[in-house]
């Protein structure tokens, strides 16, 4: 066995110990085989946690094919272990170019498939562009992330979506935990591993105050940074202000920020007008799904040279003498410079995935092409089991309280 395969197996097993909900589902799947002969194509970050999801689906009887949802978030030891130890065909290597990335998506789509699991909707988009017949025969799909769900809702709105999709991202036990605590911790982890900077005392600018932004702001503050939030949504901006952060337009923050993190899901969020105002030595990172949030073409244009002083840091030496540092080529810093969200939080996201695949198969043909919520019974089941695995007990409503909550007659007494 090669050293790479050995390393992958050890890391996948290590992650599994923190994925107790998924392991329980795997045990049930092994007994019941609810996914017997179901063919599943997955396009996800190729991490130890994804490997554990793939193994759970396989334990349920599924045939699984895997490719990456980002060329820079591929863990080569995981790919090696899946291919050469666990018998799951997995395509891709860290740093593959865009052409190779799409070739590998096509390799998954060349198999007969019943269900696809996507992270960012690149595979689903490819199905709709070049594999229409295949798309029409699918039981459905699952989407892991906010950006993918936004793309799929746009497809559904245009009447283009060809099969039902379950928005796993929107489950409470996914976005409230994975997006907040997962992105919060792993983004800081990525920045620290890439730069080895002290955050205490820095001006740390979080651009976008959704669930991911809330997590990053909270953890940066915890490490002593002075957090500034930039938002376009008035309600979210108000929430950030009342949480005690400074809130201002990016044009103001650009002048004083030391570290900038984008988490908006939008394009050119850090643009020319902001880069022009930044201090020498500013650090730019992105934790949104695609590498479009920082205008890198502008940096390329105004730089007279660039260098890589450390792994995952590109320093742009500008003609005006300033140096601007970009982490992880503007791709997801938490997965490029660190290992993504910790296993314990991916446990809940991937438990939702596994149970939602079973739900899709059980409801094959009954759901029209549209974007659906994860059923509440799955969401609550995941929360309940997670609490149990953490050794936490909670109270239950009494019969009298249940009745009271279901009545309208009782008022002021």
**Which residues of the chain form contacts with ligand ADE (CB under 6 A)?**
44-45, 47, 49-50, 182, 335, 340-341, 346
C-alpha atoms less than 13 angstroms from C-alpha of 330 in its C-beta half-sphere: 21
Q: Which residue is nearest to ligand ADE (CB)?
A: 340
Q: Identify which of residues 50 and 325 has a Cβ nearer to ligand ADE in the complex.
A: 50
Q: Identify which of residues 54 and 278 has a Cβ nearer to ligand ADE in the complex.
A: 54
C-alpha atoms less than 13 angstroms from C-alpha of 194 in its C-beta half-sphere: 31
Q: Identify which of residues 50 and 352 has a Cβ nearer to ligand ADE in the complex.
A: 50
Least separation in angstroms between CB 175 and ligand ADE: 12
For residues 319 and 211, give the distance between their C-alpha atoms in angstroms, rounded to a whole number.
37
Decide: 308 and 165 in contact? Cβ < 8 Å: no
Q: Identify which of residues 182 and 257 has a Cβ nearer to ligand ADE in the complex.
A: 182
* CA R_g for the chain: 22
Burial of 176 (0-12, 13-18, 19+ CB in 10 A): middle
Q: Is the dihedral of CA 368, 374, 380, 386 positive or negative?
A: positive
Least separation in angstroms between CB 49 and ligand ADE: 4
Least separation in angstroms between CB 108 and ligand ADE: 16
Decide: 104 and 67 in contact? Cβ < 8 Å: yes
Which residues have a Cβ under 8 Å from the Cβ of 123 and sit 6 or more positions away?
Answer: 41, 43, 67, 69, 105, 108, 109, 116
For residues 395 and 3, give the distance between their C-alpha atoms in angstroms, rounded to a whole number.
49
Least separation in angstroms between CB 51 and ligand ADE: 9
Q: Identify which of residues 190 and 257 has a Cβ nearer to ligand ADE in the complex.
A: 190
Q: Identify which of residues 282 and 335 has a Cβ nearer to ligand ADE in the complex.
A: 335
Least separation in angstroms between CB 195 and ligand ADE: 20
Least separation in angstroms between CB 352 and ligand ADE: 13
């Amino acid at each position: 066995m090669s050293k790479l395969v050995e390393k992958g197996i050890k890391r996948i097993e290590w992650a599994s110990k923190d994925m107790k909900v998924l392991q329980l589902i795997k045990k049930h799947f092994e007994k019941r085989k609810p996914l017997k002969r179901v063919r599943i194509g997955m396009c996800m970050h190729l991490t130890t946690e994804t490997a554990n999801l793939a193994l759970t689906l396989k334990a349920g009887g599924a045939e699984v094919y895997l490719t990456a949802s980002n060329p820079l978030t591929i863990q080569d030891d995981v790919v090696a272990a899946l291919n050469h130890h666990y018998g799951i065909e997995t395509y891709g290597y860290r740093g593959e170019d865009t052409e190779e990335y799409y070739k590998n998506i096509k390799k998954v789509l060349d198999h007969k498939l019943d269900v696809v699991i996507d992270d960012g909707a690149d595979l689903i988009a490819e199905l709709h562009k070049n594999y229409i017949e295949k798309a029409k025969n699918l039981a459905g799909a699952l989407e892991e992330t906010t950006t993918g769900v936004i793309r799929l809702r746009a497809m559904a709105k245009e009447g283009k979506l060809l099969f039902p999709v379950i928005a796993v991202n929107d489950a409470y036990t996914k976005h409230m935990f994975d997006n907040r605590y997962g992105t919060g911790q792993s983004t800081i982890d990525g920045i620290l591993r890439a730069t080895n900077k002290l955050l205490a005392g820095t001006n740390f600018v979080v651009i976008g105050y959704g669930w991911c932004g809330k997590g990053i702001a909270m953890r940066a503050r915890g490490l002593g940074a002075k957090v500034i939030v930039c938002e376009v949504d008035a309600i979210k901006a108000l929430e950030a202000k009342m949480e005690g952060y400074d809130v201002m337009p990016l044009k103001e923050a650009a002048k004083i920020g030391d570290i900038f993190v984008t988490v908006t899901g939008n394009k050119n969020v850090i643009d020319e007008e902001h880069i022009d105002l930044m201090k020498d030595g500013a650090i730019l990172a992105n934790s949104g799904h695609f590498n479009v949030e920082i205008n890198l073409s502008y940096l390329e244009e105004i730089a007279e040279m660039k260098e890589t002083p450390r792994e995952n840091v590109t320093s742009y030496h500008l003609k005006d003498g300033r140096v601007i540092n970009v982490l992880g080529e503007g791709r997801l810093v938490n997965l490029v410079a660190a290992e993504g969200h910790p296993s314990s939080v991916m446990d809940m996201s991937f438990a939702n995935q596994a149970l939602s695949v079973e739900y899709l198969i059980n409801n094959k043909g009954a759901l029209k092409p549209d974007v659906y919520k994860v059923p509440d019974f799955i969401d609550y089941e995941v929360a309940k089991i997670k609490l149990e695995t953490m050794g936490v007990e909670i109270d239950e409503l009494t019969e009298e309280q249940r009745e009271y909550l279901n009545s309208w007659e009782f008022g002021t007494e």
